[in-house]
Structure 1
């Protein structure tokens, strides 16, 4: 809640705005004249479709849960998920530090707060603000907490987002912090994909489903209005209308000390936007590259991150650079930028945040984190590196624009998360809280390898295995990947990977393929649209490298991915079914002919292309898994998982793929959780179950 501009919304934030309810989903699907015998499975809650789901679940669960390993893993996983020995991560609002906590006694969770003095204790006392379990029981609803948006700078009123069963779509209700109760006759919205921002205590910017024509083709708000307290939403005044083909329209308020900036964000596609400043004279469009993003405003300096080269006069600012300029100068049309950071070929900017006087920049150097503190003084930026452990992942949390203290989380594959507190007065960071080791890491080692793609690009991947692993080509190995939307896969500690896979004798590999953001925008853009095969081929290259170096062979190699990663593993399983003995394909995109017609799919055409355009379909169809699976090809026994309540990636993708493959005679497994949203699980028990099912399947397929 500091000075960041919310206008830098990309995949995570657009996705988390919420998509549509399942009851609305079928209304947005264009099914006329579609030659698809399995299209009936797109009817999310249709009786025939749900009966089919129940039948597949019964078969798959009966098979996997009968394995002795399943019960062992489930019980261990649940113990980890419900453990009180977890770090209660916090965000600061005013004088309080807020946390959302789930455990075995509170499976839906507690929204709570404490003071810094208390938080620094080993066992702090928490003040409970909202008990989701009590609320769910009282209202007889399966509420899942989806976050809050609180009024700056008092933070006494919040807009609470509540999801039914974990879906992205939420009910919004105004909440009074001090009375710990929902505000009677306060701001509230029915279940929808809504975007709201406080202008003042009695006025909001709101984007939601106002009725027919108010949503984009992607299923996000197309219209922004100002909504005053006590006013029927139908009477709210329209501020901005986008086009139906836009991805998302939103308005937000950014604070920089006493200065307040009202901003309209028009997402043209997933990666380009127009941004307008609301002034007394109307809307003023900001002159910047459409693919650039704001990273914040601090002490009057606007931060702009470039996704491509930008020539201004006789100066060209390089792709991936972070620039700054006086906000007043920028609004006045000046272009006198200062280069804050220009990453080299091995480095990318992972995150930008700010405190009262500093900008904190986390970078990735060959996929390992470094943290720098930048200060603007006398028209220049100076910086210093924050001393932190090497070869891991750093995440800055709990910043505030009231002081220069902050939290830093550190982890790597074998080191549990440690939360450091950076005390500006001491100018150093010290460990405040640490996770216990949920598995014994001493027998294992981590190595970073590089596989060479056909075009000569070095593709990095991490390898985690026992120190005494024999490179005999027989080790059961799980390769994980994503490769899209400029998302970076970084070293992270996973108790379930340790317990469910490493301790069972498995090797774990994490591929940093193109399409991700590990080396900045260019690494991502290399695999966009017609170049999508680069991501798939990079993944195959890593798989082949694992085999060439005798880590494993094709009978002991499994792959796993979810969402865009589900598309990845679904595609490479159809491209090279000979390479893998196991495939875990979670909440996937698979029907790339219709992805843009289903739920939020239209918003991803900036990543994949438009299948309704013949030229673009001609390259999409070459990899679309649903269109490239054949009866006469031997495929590994794939395990598909999805969620009925996933209102981001339509469950019809997985359903139809399974039905088609079953009809072709292929052996496979399918599990659809009836709750859980895009994450696949709505509570700790469901998470424990899902991972136990997945690793039981992998052990069954890969371990002799």
Structure 2
């Protein structure tokens, strides 16, 4: 029997009082705080909440958690919900194997371990042994592995550690043969690539070594003037050499040693789109003692350039330069004038060239995005001719491993109903042999009990928007089922099919529907899709999402009072803007780590980098459209005595990506303007996590607790029974 339907009995629905009032904390408003933007006065009465260290802010956080916690904890299904999530989460999870030196490595999680463990194998038949277990680094799992890098000979392992979800990293080095760490630790590392010289001693990283004040993830100050440093293995960080810097304080610098080992490729970026391109010649036999001499190739922020590989001086890049769906170009670093650039793989007029990976010396593994689903092919690196098509189901290629000189590669594939499947591909002459290396089993999950489909609906301006819908087979369109609608819509991010236990729990145990809308602002259809949701076109994202809600109601998948919406980060902005603009469309809203003050976001931590998607209130034309939708500044009393949907904000004290002040100020304003209305019976609450950040590296226990609280909130707010 299926894991959900084994010994099924439906609990008798427990009726909650949805029409109830809340005694929200009394919050000080400082009406004297205001800014003037181009002649328009904008008040900011809760600016004091921007100081995370003040006693008043700490008291505010405690007061908010003290009303949220009882509401969530009183859900009668809480233990059943947590038990079901825990049970279904408890399945073995494996990454693709990756080979370095003469050994294979793989991330594994037995099921409920807080952090995945790296195992090492001498060959693929070995069971393997533990190489690095981050669970031993903290009692609560809040120290996580971030980016990692092996030296070219595979004998040294550089690994970054993040504490409490912060973007700050400390880099350590491990001797692969002995298992011992080298004595040095590199600190104040952030937004950094990691790349080794081919002498296996020199190491490049990016850092903010001159930053003063706190650097633990709880600060709100911006990190500026990143520099690239050269570190020699076995020496103290104080001896590291500053090798690359730029005058612009907002630039972050990608630095990658070429496959041949004689170039350092530099891709400076100022925002979240469009790179510069420089290179420096390096000699792996010489120690670097001073700044590198840079050669500029691209000096204007106009396009993306993603290094793939090089053959001697000919370098191959994935780019959207004159190609909104991306292409692969060749630049000869001995003759790098743009007029001399060549194209290896032309832009596809319909499908987005999503990724390229070199393998077997002369082969390019290229993935495309076709209507939000991956296809994968092999091309000849010399001629650009297609050599092979992989036969993929509807879903996503999640990761690919293998180096240029390897004659094998691994890739993982998943879909909404198919957990991670790992394939091994072997190359022998002209032969390409593909086998299943590992299939993930999730309890007794029976995927045949569910349906997944993709629909296209019309947005406000007539644009066709794709949306995936998951439901039980035999589902009847009568508008009676709850629905959870998810969206993001920004920063060229693609939301492709992926496996999630929590989605299936919502579909099965709440007898619901899950919908994922691929709205504009993402990269699902290349630059045109991204640009359709940037700058003054951001309203398209909100229109697309609201149109998704209307479609689901009109087609009788659900009803407005049973429709929950969810989004995080930029998706949190999406959710908050939509409940401001059309509160009547939704029954509940889950707004996670959202960007909610669009007039001041750029003043905190990495916020300045988002100006390439949002614009900036310091510019008059951009201020005017930001002010129109900024969630903090557009909370309005609904018409016709309506009310806001039940709303839960989530943030965390070490989120140094989207700092908590966004959520704190928004909930304060929301409770002041909306929570005090006599007709507002739906709760507007916030959950503030400790020792957690934006999401990356979050331990399993915290993930399960958060999912439990979200489902409990939805269950209580919408009076939804949970069947065990």
Aligning the two structures, in what range does the TM-score lie when normalised by the shorter sequence?
Answer: 0.7 to 0.9
Q: 2:295 aligns with which of 265, 274, 284?
A: 284
Match of 1:479 among 468, 480, 485: 485
Tell me the CA shift for residue 91 of structure 1.
2.6
User: What is the TM-score of this pair, normalised by structure 2?
Assistant: 0.84
1:373 matched to which residue of 2?
A: 378
Bigger shift: 212-221 or 56-65? 212-221
Total equivalences in the alignment: 651
Task: Tell me if 1:323 matches 2:335.
Answer: no
Provide the residue aligned with 2:149 in structure 1. 149
TM-superposed deviation, 1:323: 2.8
- CA change 1:389–1:632 in 2 (3 A) is closer
* Alpha-carbon shift at residue 690 of structure 1 (Å): 0.8
Aligned partner of 1:204 in structure 2 is 203
Indicate the residue corresponding to 1:692 in structure 2: 708
Match of 2:404 in 1: 401
Deviations 1:507-565 (A, max 9, x none): 01110111111111211111111111111111111111112212122111111101111
In 2: Cα distance, 1:440 partner to 1:261 partner: 51
SS at match of 1:620: helix
- The 5-angstrom pairing of residues 41-440 of structure 1 reads 41-83=49-91, 85-103=92-110, 106-118=113-125, 124-136=126-138, 142-151=142-151, 153-184=152-183, 186=184, 188-190=186-188, 195-199=193-197, 200-211=199-210, 219-228=223-232, 233=237, 236-255=240-259, 258-279=260-281, 282-287=293-298, 290-300=302-312, 301-309=314-322, 318-325=323-330, 327-328=332-333, 330-331=335-336, 335-345=340-350, 347-356=351-360, 357-377=362-382, 380-425=383-428, 427-438=432-443, 439-440=445-446
Relative distance call for 1:540 and 1:245 in structure 2 (3 A) is farther
Q: TM-score, normalised by structure 1?
A: 0.86
Unaligned runs of 5+ in 1: 1-30, 119-123, 310-317
Q: Secondary structure at the match of 2:628?
A: coil
Measured on the aligned residues, the alpha-carbon RMSD in Å equals 2.8
Cα distance in structure 2, aligned partners of 1:399 and 1:195: 19
- Describe the superposition over 1:460-483 as per-residue Cα deviations: whole angstroms up to 9, x where unpaired: 111111222221222211111111
Give the superposition deviation at 1:193: 5.7
Report Cα offsets for 1:666-693 as digits up to 9, x if no partner.
Answer: 2312111102321177211111111111
CA deviations over 1:465-505 (Å, ceiling 9, x no partner): 12222212222111111111111111112111102443320
Structure 2 portions without partners, runs of 5+ = 1-32, 36-41, 283-291, 676-682
| Aligned equivalents of 2:103, 2:235: Cα separation in 1 | 32
The CA deviation at 1:288 is 7.8
Measured in 1, the distance between the counterparts of 2:475 and 2:372 equals: 24
Q: Is the 8 A contact 2:144 2:163 kept in 1?
A: yes
Q: Kindly indicate whether residue 664 of structure 2 is the aligned counterpart of residue 658 of structure 1.
A: no
Change (3 A) 1:392 1:107: closer
In the alignment, structure 1 residue 672 sits paired with structure 2 residue 679: no
**After superposition, what is the alpha-carbon deviation per residue over 1:67-115, rounded to whole angstroms, capped at 9, x for unaligned?**
23221121222233343x3234333222222233344785344332124
**Contact 1:90 1:397 survives alignment (8 Å):** no
CA contact (8 A) 2:450 2:473 kept: yes
Write the distance in 1 (CA, Å) between the matches of 2:635 and 2:459.
25
Query: What CA distance in whole angstroms lies between the structure 2 residues aligned with 1:35 and 1:680?
Result: 34
- In 2, the alpha carbon distance for the partners of 1:180 and 1:45 equals 40
Task: Measure how far apart 1:570 and its partner are.
Answer: 0.9
* Alpha-carbon distance change, 232 to 584 in structure 1, aligned in 2, over 3 angstroms: same
Hey, what does 2:578 align to over in structure 1? 572
Instruction: Determine whether 1:503 maps to 2:506.
Output: no
1:187 positional shift: 5.1
| Distance (whole Å) between structure 1 residues aligned to residue 55 and residue 177 of structure 2 | 45
Q: After superposition, give the CA deviation of every residue in 1:353-411 in whole Å (9 maximum; x if it has no partner).
A: 1213211111111111110101134xx21114433232211234222222232122222
